[in-house]
Amino acid sequence: MLSGYIPEFRTRFRATIMGIIMGLLNERIQMMPRKELDELQLKLLKAQARRLYELSPFYRERMKAKNVTPEDIRTLDDSAKLPFMTKKDLRDFYPDKLFTVPRREIIRYHASSGTTGKPTIVGYTRKDIDMWAESLGRSLTSVGLGEDDVIQVANTYGLFTGGLGFHYAAERIGAAVVPASTGNTERQIQMIQDLGVTAYAATPSYMMYVGEVAEKMGIDLKQSTLKTGLLGAEPWSDKMRDRIQSQYGIRGINCFGASELSGPLFTECSEQTGIHFWKDVALVEIIDPETHEKLGPGESGEMVITMLQKEAFPIIRYRIGDITMLEEDTCSCGRAHPRITRITGRVDDMLIIRGINVFPSQVEHCLNTNPEVGNEFQILVERKGHLDEMLVKVELKPEAFTDNILELNALRERITSKLRNSLNVGAKVELVPPGSLPRYEGKAKRVKDTREI
Ligand code: AMP
Ligand code: ZN
């Protein structure tokens, strides 16, 4: 018995020591003074620029075209000398031509919707998975979560990064995870009650829906153990936050990430005054989307992100398309890591439907694979209750339009199912006669989004 006990004791002892060391390192980096953080960030930026110049033909060519070498990166402001990267690059180099490690070093793939038919594939080395969990885990501790918490993850598990992202981060900080994924709302509420769930990761609109279903079930979330909502993946407003906080007695913590960057990575701290971007994980800049000039703190513009330690699929000066502002002053929580304020819009036409990115070009691409479909379509998005609904009106070619309801229904079902597979989110389809949708003299306005957030 004793011989079995000693190895177990050793393992536990080692785990405890590792836990203490990781906790101290975590605390140290979170509270590091600005000057030290800047030095660390510059060191990482230089190393990443050098690594990519040496390893990646894509980045080397891009840097050469801008007449910049890794030696030219001497200060943090020199990041502006580096070339941009766009969603188009991700599409052009599909699926893994921008990866900078051999296949055997990849231990996971995720995917997110691309601008046309093909998704963006993201590969991860062991270190990438580790950094991802470290970054989000750190953020979770910054809102006071830890070993005493039970975190229910109601983001989708699978190719989408939300589920596994929160899952690994929650495990890393020693919390107990309930991997609920999306759907089955009544059961989710049952779990919150039965397991004493303290934090719930979801899209803000799903959080509202959960609250509403709980009310219908006669359950008052205010009286439950649930105290924190880890909410993101879609735009939401302070008004919506106020509603969630006052109606359900839950702090609504804004969380940000994107699959190209790894997945969900950063959150607000307990002060709820903007999302902290860890300086050793990412360098964030705000630029004028037209002139590409770097903007200062407090100026609204397009966010550009450089991931400083990513290995498999490096990201430098990525024009992610989100519009926000940067706050550089030290937060009242004491952390000197910069913050972004709420994301107020996009520079492109990307829609977020139930947390899933949808590009009108993707819809168009999918519709065009059906020979019966004509030239025009329209996307109508609204919020019904708390959930997004998308309706796609599709004009048929004259030869395909018929009075035969059965035939039309069969075609509608075929297109609906194709769209669902292509977009990863459901849309209703309405087939309309040729020439019945609006035509445009200037830029077409094919999307009508009436959601209020
Ligand atoms: P994905 O790659 O599917 O994770 O989508 C990433 C995109 O989701 C971002 O570029 C943002 O447009 C959006 N997003 C993620 N988190 C938030 C948030 N907290 N507020 C607003 N938009 C968000
Ligand atoms: Zn803070």
144 CA from centroid of ligand 2 (Å): 12
3-state secondary structure (DSSP) of residue 306: strand
Q: 411 is written with which tokens?
A: 């075609």
Any idea which ligand is nearest the CA of 273? 2
Cβ(269)–Cβ(333) under 8 Å?
A: yes
- For the chain, give every domain's residue range: 1-30, 103-348, 356-449
Residue reference for tokens 């390893």: 55
**pLDDT one digit per residue (tens) for the chain, 453 residues:** 555 666 677 877 887 888 788 888 888 999 999 999 999 999 999 999 999 999 999 999 999 999 999 999 999 999 999 999 999 999 999 999 999 999 999 999 999 887 877 899 999 999 999 999 999 999 999 999 999 999 999 999 999 999 999 999 999 999 999 999 999 999 999 999 999 999 999 999 999 999 999 999 999 999 999 999 999 999 999 999 999 999 999 999 999 999 999 999 999 999 999 999 999 999 999 999 999 999 999 999 999 999 999 999 999 999 999 999 999 999 999 999 999 999 999 999 999 999 999 999 999 999 999 999 998 999 999 999 889 999 999 999 999 999 999 999 999 999 999 999 999 999 999 999 999 999 887 778 899 999 987
Return the residue whose CA atom lies nearest to atom 7 of ligand 1: 258
C-alpha separations of 341 from 197, 271, 336 in Å: 28, 12, 15
Which atom, in ligand 1's list, is nearest to the CA of 321? 10
For domain 356-449, give the CATH superfamily: ANL, C-terminal domain (3.30.300.30)
Any idea which ligand is nearest the CA of 201? 1
> If you write DSSP's letter for every residue of 372-414 in order, what string do you get?
TEEEEEEEEEEEETTEEEEEEEEEEPTTT--S-HHHHHHHHHH
Any idea which ligand is nearest the CA of 272? 2
Q: How confident is the model at residue 163, as a pLDDT?
A: 97
Cβ(331)–Cβ(212) under 8 Å?
A: no
Give the Cβ contact number of residue 47 at 10 Å: 14
Residues with CB under 6 A from ligand 1: 112, 161, 232-235, 254-259, 320, 322, 343, 352, 357
Return the residue whose CA atom lies nearest to atom 16 of ligand 1: 233
Q: 195 is written with which tokens?
A: 């397991």
> What is the model's pTM?
0.93
285 CA from centroid of ligand 2 (Å): 19
In CATH, the number for domain 103-348 is: 3.40.50.12780
